[in-house]
């Protein structure tokens, strides 16, 4: 049986309407994702894209920007005939406000294609999700076949998330709503499910008896770029932990779902979120660190401080956060989960490290410490799984041993181009598969836990510690668990 061959799917025609259609995310991720699915033959020419913009703009200039972003994935793509076909699918629609007059522009544009189902992608601040949903409903643009994709961050607190979900629910049923977290579309993240649930080997050892701690790290070398306004309101906790890191934690910690189906998977993730130990005034100082980058050097180039980047010199927003948390259930009793994320780190890398417990007893005459096994799941920049295990150093001299990694390198083993996370997730929306999208209760549970952190930070007035750009963050973060968060361990090349 050929296990590697992808199933050829055929999709019915669909309309893809992007609010925030000339925004950064749409240009950088959404159009290139749709283009690549067309290029790979997964979607045929039977679709239409409507880029909804608030201001008037020239179609030619707009398509040129779309092409420039396609070009970033390779010249062979932007110069292919597919690129021209793709551009011919895009229509610009100006919708400056929520009035019926504005929405009639969209109605008219969609009218010739109204037999096909429409996917509405909200790539706007989440405060607009409710008003856009109502305007779509009031203008008769939603039917049973419609779907809506909600970009993160959904709200900035539990109360706002509940309110936005409630507003969207006035127009869409929960089974029409896709709350996207692009980390769940990353190839290695999905592979985590296969690794855990399609191999006999790991699942038996996947518990507190065998695992000493779990480390989840998302380090970025980039700063805040052009998103100063948004970022300064969010900080690393809301921008990265509330969604991406928590989703990774859920996939590591959840029980095996009955089947790989949306609600079975989401039920298991939800249980993990409920079991996360809340932060309190008592544990927040010892279990969390907030940092903010100052000027420094990355790959030899000088970079400015966060305050200079955002041009606001009294900001206390964190660009780095490290947390120690626990999943209070039978499987994970007493196992710390270390979560870390930061901007302006020396390089971009994200990974999950499962640190196993050391062997029970050392039989070797040297008595030298035997480092424990590690399973490293590298998400980016390269996608790879490594199992670090002890091996005898060949030759005489008695039993000398050292840790060697068994590597499964995706780039070496699977030669094709890897689809970007958004490609996979957008196609899941088209096919109506909600497995990799968050349900409302999951989102609310994650906000609930995050608020235990924001509240405790406020209660104890936890200061933000400065760290130099191009370093691995404040020294205090090392203190949370010193043998892994360093630049020499297996975790970082």
- For ligand BG6, the binding residues (CB under 6 A) are 152, 182, 220, 239, 350
Q: How far is the CB of 228 from ligand BG6 (least distance, A)?
A: 12
- Based on the residue annotation, tell me whether 244 is a catalytic residue of this protein: yes
Torsions phi, psi for 430 (to 5 deg)? -60, -45
Nearer to ligand BG6, 387 or 492 (CB): 492
Spatial CA neighbour of 122 closest among 226, 52, 174:
52
Nearer to ligand BG6, 87 or 154 (CB): 154
Q: Least distance (Å) from ligand BG6 to the CB of residue 239?
A: 5
Cβ proximity to ligand BG6, 103 vs 420, nearer residue: 420
Question: How many angstroms separate the CA atoms of 217 and 322, rounded?
Answer: 9
CB of 224 to ligand BG6, least distance (A): 7
- Indicate which residue of 82, 182, 244, 287 is catalytic: 244
Collect all residues with Cβ–Cβ distance below 8 Å to 346 and sequence separation of at least 6.
219, 221, 298, 299, 470, 471, 472, 487
Query: In the chain, what are the helix, strand and coil shares in percent, each to the nearest 5?
Result: 40, 20, 40
**3-class DSSP state of 292:** strand
Measured CA to CA, the distance from residue 117 to residue 298 in angstroms comes to 47
Q: How near is the Cβ of 343 to ligand BG6 at its closest, in Å? A: 7
Identity of the residue, 14 or 69, whose beta carbon is nearer to ligand BG6 in the bound complex: 69
Minimum distance of ligand BG6 from residue 231's CB (angstroms): 7
What is the token pair recorded at 304? 């400015």
In the complex, the smallest distance separating the C-beta of residue 183 from ligand BG6, rounded to whole angstroms, is 7
The tokens describing 173, both together, are 């049923």
Question: Residue 114's CB: how many other CB atoms inside 10 A?
Answer: 13
Shortest distance in whole angstroms from residue 67 CB to ligand BG6: 22
CA dist., res. 447 & res. 156, Å (int)? 8
Residue with tokens 């420094």: 296
Q: Which is nearer to ligand BG6, 351 or 386 (CB)?
A: 351
- Here the tokens at position 168 are 């969207």
* DSSP 3-state of 158: helix
Q: Strand order in 336-342's β-sheet?
A: 401-409, 384-392, 374-380, 349-356, 211-219, 336-342, 320-326, 288-294, 465-468
Long-range contacts of 358-367 (CB under 8 A, 24+ apart): 358/212, 364/399, 364/401, 365/398, 365/399, 366/398, 366/399, 366/400
Q: What gap in Å lies between CA 48 and CA 116, rounded to an integer? A: 10
Segment 160-167 long-range contacts (CB within 8 Å, at least 24 positions apart) = 160/126, 161/443, 161/444, 161/447, 162/444, 163/130, 164/126, 164/127, 164/129, 164/130, 165/440, 165/443, 165/444, 167/129, 167/130, 167/131, 167/133, 167/134
**Whose Cβ is closer to ligand BG6: residue 372's or residue 492's?**
492
Residue number, nearest CB to ligand BG6: 239
Residue number, 82 or 186, with CB nearest to ligand BG6: 186
Of the two residues 60 and 493, which places its CB atom closer to ligand BG6 in the complex?
493
The b-or-e profile of 131-142 (16+ CB within 10 A means b, else e) is: ebbebbeebebb
Q: How far is the CB of 230 from ligand BG6 (least distance, A)?
A: 8
Catalytic residues: 244
């Amino acid at each position: 049986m050929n296990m590697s061959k992808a199933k050829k799917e055929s999709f019915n025609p669909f309309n893809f309407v992007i609010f925030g259609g000339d925004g950064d995310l749409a240009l950088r991720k959404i159009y290139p994702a749709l283009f690549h699915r067309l290029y790979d033959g997964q979607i045929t020419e039977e679709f239409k894209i409507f880029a909804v913009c608030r201001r008037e703009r020239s179609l030619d200039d707009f398509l040129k920007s779309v092409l420039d972003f396609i070009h970033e994935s390779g010249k062979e793509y932007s110069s292919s005939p597919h690129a021209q076909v793709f551009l011919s699918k895009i229509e610009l629609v100006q919708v400056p406000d929520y009035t019926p007059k504005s929405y009639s522009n969209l109605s008219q544009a969609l009218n010739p294609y109204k037999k096909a189902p429409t996917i509405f992608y909200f790539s706007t601040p989440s405060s607009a999700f409710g008003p856009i949903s109502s305007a779509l409903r009031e203008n008769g643009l939603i039917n049973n076949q419609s779907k809506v994709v909600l970009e993160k961050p959904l709200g900035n607190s539990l109360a706002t998330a509940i309110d936005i979900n409630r507003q969207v629910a006035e127009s869409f049923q929960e089974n029409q709503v896709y709350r996207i977290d692009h980390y769940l579309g990353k190839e290695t993240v999905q592979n985590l499910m296969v690794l855990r649930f399609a191999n006999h080997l790991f699942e038996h050892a996947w518990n507190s008896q065998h695992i000493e701690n779990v480390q989840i790290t998302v380090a970025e070398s980039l700063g805040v770029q052009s998103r100063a306004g948004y970022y300064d309101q969010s900080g690393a906790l809301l921008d990265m932990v509330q969604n991406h890191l928590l989703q990774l934690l859920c996939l590591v910690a959840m029980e095996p779902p009955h089947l790989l189906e949306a609600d079975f998977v989401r039920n298991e993730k939800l249980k993990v979120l409920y079991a996360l130990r809340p932060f309190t005034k008592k544990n927040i100082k010892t279990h969390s660190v907030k940092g903010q980058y100052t000027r420094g050097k990355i790959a030899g180039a000088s970079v400015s401080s966060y305050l200079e980047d955002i041009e606001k010199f009294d900001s206390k927003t964190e660009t780095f956060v490290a947390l120690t948390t626990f999943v209070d259930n039978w499987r994970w009793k007493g196992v710390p989960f270390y979560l870390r994320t930061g901007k302006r780190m020396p390089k971009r890398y994200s990974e999950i490290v499962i640190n196993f417990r050391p062997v029970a007893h050392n039989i070797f005459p040297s008595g030298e410490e035997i480092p424990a096994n590690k399973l490293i799941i590298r998400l980016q920049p390269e996608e790879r799984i490594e199992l670090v295990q002890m091996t005898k150093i060949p030759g005489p001299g008695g039993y000398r041993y050292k840790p060697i990694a068994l590597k499964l390198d995706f780039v070496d083993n699977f030669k094709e181009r890897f689809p970007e996370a958004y490609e996979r997730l957008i196609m899941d929306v088209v096919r109506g598969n909600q497995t990799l999208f968050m349900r409302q209760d999951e989102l609310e549970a994650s906000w609930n836990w995050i608020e235990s952190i924001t509240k405790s930070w406020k209660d104890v007035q936890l200061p933000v510690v400065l760290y130099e750009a191009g370093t691995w963050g404040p020294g205090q973060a090392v203190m949370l668990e010193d043998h892994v968060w360093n630049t020499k361990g297996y975790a970082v090349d």
